[in-house]
């Protein structure tokens, strides 16, 4: 089924157009905020990941209802962004949505992402390697699916190359509606520049607050509509790591 381009799929105002004072988190602040949530409040990373997955899954379910799409393909990378993807796949399957994971690489063990991978597989989520999508007959599985991009998140700071770049190029050749988790894979979270290649999204579910790169000039064509996902971090802690310029960062 044909879907709207990212630029056409923006019925809601972006966070950039909302009232002033909203926080922003760059790459370093986002990582430090997660760490502080654990050290200061005792919130384990696995719980933060679960909140990210729950909020993202709700958004995905709304997109499925809005578009009439019935299937979801989740692209999972080896990091915590992929961990979000594994948890999303498990939640969708638990809700009766046909879903499968295309795995770029397995996460290191032990770790939160590896834990979510193990749980999702135990739930019966089907998995296939990313190399399968190089086969045109298998790649057509994307044509009638919503694609969740959980390959690379805010922490990506180097150009995408090799198998990851080939996977992204394979996805770009299909008309699937794409929901990016945190940032579209390949979009620099700080600058909005493209790191080698980028998978454009129709909707970006970004955690806690927008990243500067999502609001940079020209980013609209790559990130689509921005939706903020609450992952259970207290607002006062978020404010301490805000890099919007309105509230000077306080990382002490």
- Tell me whether residue 1 is in a domain: no
Low-confidence spans in the chain with pLDDT less than 70: 1-21, 246-252
- Tell me whether residue 245 is in a domain: no
Q: What is the DSSP letter of 4?
A: -
Identify the pLDDT of residue 135: 79
Identify the pLDDT of residue 3: 44
Please state, in angstroms and rounded to a whole number, the distance separating the CA atoms of residues 199 and 189.
14
Identify the pLDDT of residue 132: 87
Q: For 169-194, what is the HEC assignment?
A: HHHHCCCCEEEEECCCCCECCCCCCE
- Tell me whether residue 249 is in a domain: no
CATH number at residue 220: 3.40.50.10260
Identify the pLDDT of residue 88: 98
Adjacency order of strands within the sheet including 145-150: 127-129, 99-103, 71-76, 145-150, 177-181, 203-207, 225-229
- Tell me whether residue 199 is in a domain: yes
- Tell me whether residue 250 is in a domain: no
- Tell me whether residue 15 is in a domain: no
Identify the pLDDT of residue 6: 52
Q: Number of folded domains in the chain?
A: 1
Segment (H or E) for 88: helix 80-94
Identify the pLDDT of residue 250: 43
- Tell me whether residue 234 is in a domain: yes
Residue 204 belongs to what domain range? Answer: 6-10+22-240
Identify the pLDDT of residue 21: 57
On whether the CB atoms of residues 112 and 49 are closer than 8 A, the answer is: yes
Please state, in angstroms and rounded to a whole number, the distance separating the CA atoms of residues 117 and 139.
22
Identify the pLDDT of residue 173: 78
Please state, in angstroms and rounded to a whole number, the distance separating the CA atoms of residues 55 and 89.
13
For 3, 9, 140, 142, 202, the CA distances from 69, given in Å and listed in that order, are 10, 15, 15, 11, 14
**Rg for the chain, CA atoms, rounded:** 17
Residues in a beta bridge with 203: 179, 225
Its pTM stands at 0.89
DSSP 28-74: HHHHHHHHHHHHHH---HHHHHHHHHHHHHHHHHHHHHHH---EEEE
- Tell me whether residue 142 is in a domain: yes
């Amino acid at each position: 089924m044909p879907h709207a381009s990212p630029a056409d799929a923006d019925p809601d105002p972006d966070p950039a157009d909302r009232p002033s004072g909203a926080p922003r988190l760059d790459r370093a602040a986002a990582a430090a905020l997660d760490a502080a949530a654990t050290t200061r409040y005792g919130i384990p990373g696995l719980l933060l990941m679960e909140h990210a997955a729950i909020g993202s899954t709700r958004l995905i379910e709304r997109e499925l209802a809005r578009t009439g799409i019935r299937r979801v393909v989740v692209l999972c990378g080896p990091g915590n962004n992929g961990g979000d993807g594994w948890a999303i796949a498990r939640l969708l399957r638990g809700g009766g949505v046909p879903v499968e994971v295309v795995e770029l690489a397995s996460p290191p063990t032990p770790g939160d992402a590896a834990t979510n991978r193990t749980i999702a597989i135990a739930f019966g989520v089907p998995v296939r390697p990313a190399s399968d999508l190089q086969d045109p007959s298998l790649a057509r599985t994307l044509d009638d699916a919503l694609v969740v991009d959980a390959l690379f998140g805010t922490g990506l700071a180097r150009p995408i190359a090799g198998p990851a770049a080939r996977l992204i190029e394979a996805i770009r050749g299909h008309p699937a509606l794409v929901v990016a988790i945190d940032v579209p894979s390949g979009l620099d979270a700080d600058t909005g520049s493209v790191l080698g290649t980028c998978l454009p999204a129709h909707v970006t579910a970004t955690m806690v607050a927008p990243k500067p790169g999502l609001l940079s000039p020209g980013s609209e064509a790559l990130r689509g509509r921005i939706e903020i996902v609450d992952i259970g971090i207290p607002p006062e802690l978020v404010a301490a790591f805000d890099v919007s310029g309105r509230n000077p960062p306080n990382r002490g």
